Amino acid sequence: MAGMIRRIAGGEFAAQSLVLTLLFIVAAVLLAIVIVTPLDLVSQALFAVVTIIVMLIIKASPSRGVTLVLVTLSIVVSTRYVWWRFTDTLQFASMLEAFLGLGLVLAELYAWMVLVLGYVQTIWPLKRAPVALPEDLALWPTIDLFIPTYNEPLGVVQNTVLGAMSVDYPLDKLRIYILDDGRREEFREFADALGVGYLTRDNNLHAKAGNLNEALTVTNG
């Protein structure tokens, strides 16, 4: 009986997945048609007004579904503009016009890519509830706090270090490290005077990310 129930549930899940896939394909085709269909000035203005009104109406009821719809509308409108730019506006009368015009188009394409990638990163955030730390402080984890620096003056970094030392966490479980890619003696002396860690490396590969990754190999918080 249990096996039969599992097979039925699996079949229902497969059917639902197939339906969702087909709906996604149909929606993608319809949106592609909206993106590439040419409109005259009046129709384009009406399309813009209707899109703005729809966005204003649905944003009054925030939810994950509404967010998906708003993101989709934003991408459709932006992609429609990019499509229009590439298909209707790249006729140039001189080399100077071509140079400036193509430069502007590439800048707009870059902005469109940043927009889409930003949506990909934020469209489905995880809902993680805070978990309280144990009442017994002995069970709290140790924390390593990294302050990477390369060419910032000591006056800037020392304020950051002093602020880090004021973090509301048991001091015996908080370890602060200055990660000095500039390898400066005054920074080492400052770290020793305050009792915080001081780490360097023999290269500057991958800039700040490399600095942080190198520190992770020699600390264990």
Q: What average pLDDT values come out for the chain (221 residues) when binned by 10 residues?
A: 55 72 85 88 89 88 86 92 91 90 94 94 84 90 96 94 94 94 96 96 95 95 91
Strands (E) across the chain are located at 143-149, 174-180, 197-199
Task: Return the pLDDT at 20.
Answer: 77
Task: Return the pLDDT at 195.
Answer: 94
Whole-model pTM above 0.85?
no
Rg for the chain, CA atoms, rounded: 28
- Of 187, 183, 196, 184, give the one whose Cα is nearest residue 157: 187
Task: Return the pLDDT at 3.
Answer: 55
